[in-house]
Amino acid sequence: SVRRKRPQTRMTCTPCRRRKSKCDGGRPTCTACATAGLQKCEYDGDPDLTRAAALRKRHDELERRVVLYEQLFAVLSDRPEFKSIEILRRIRRANFKIDLEELSRSFSHGDVLVR
């Protein structure tokens, strides 16, 4: 007898991954979670990406942020103390909600939030 291969799920829901059970990727609830009595599954990341692709994407994003933080650290280390303090004050006033990419662009333009 020939066994039919089940199509591989692009991403497993969080409850199935925790239970280490087979997930069919059904939305809003996969079959395994519906059987377990859950109303809705939770998925980490983009539903169109495989888990490996989502992890790769997250890794690349974190690497990019590390580079930006390293640039910020270098700028703060290289500037005179009064300019570094002013940069830190502006970051704090913004409650750390400063766009790192915009901040990095300002490094290259010499602005660095100090006006």
What confidence tens digit (pLDDT) does each residue in 59-74 have?
999 999 899 889 889 9
Average pLDDT, the chain: 81
The segment with the largest mean pLDDT, out of 40-49, 60-69, 90-99, is: 60-69
Element at 106 (helix H, strand E): helix 100-109
Ordered structural domains, the chain, with CATH = 8-48 (4.10.240), 56-109 (no CATH)
State the pLDDT at residue 115.
45
pLDDT, average across residues 71-94: 87
DSSP state of 99: -
Q: Where does the pLDDT of residue 96 fall: very low under 50, low under 70, confident under 90, or very high at 90 and above?
A: low
SS (H, E, C) 47-91: CCCCHHHHHHHHHHHHHHHHHHHHHHHHHHHHCCHHHHHHHHHHH
Per cent of the chain over pLDDT 70 is 81
User: 95: left (phi > 0), else alpha (psi -120 to 50), else beta?
Assistant: left
State the pLDDT at residue 68.
87
Query: Is the model more confident about 51 or about 73?
Result: 73
Contact 96, 70 (CB under 8 A): no
Please say if the pLDDT value at position 6 is more than 50. Answer: yes
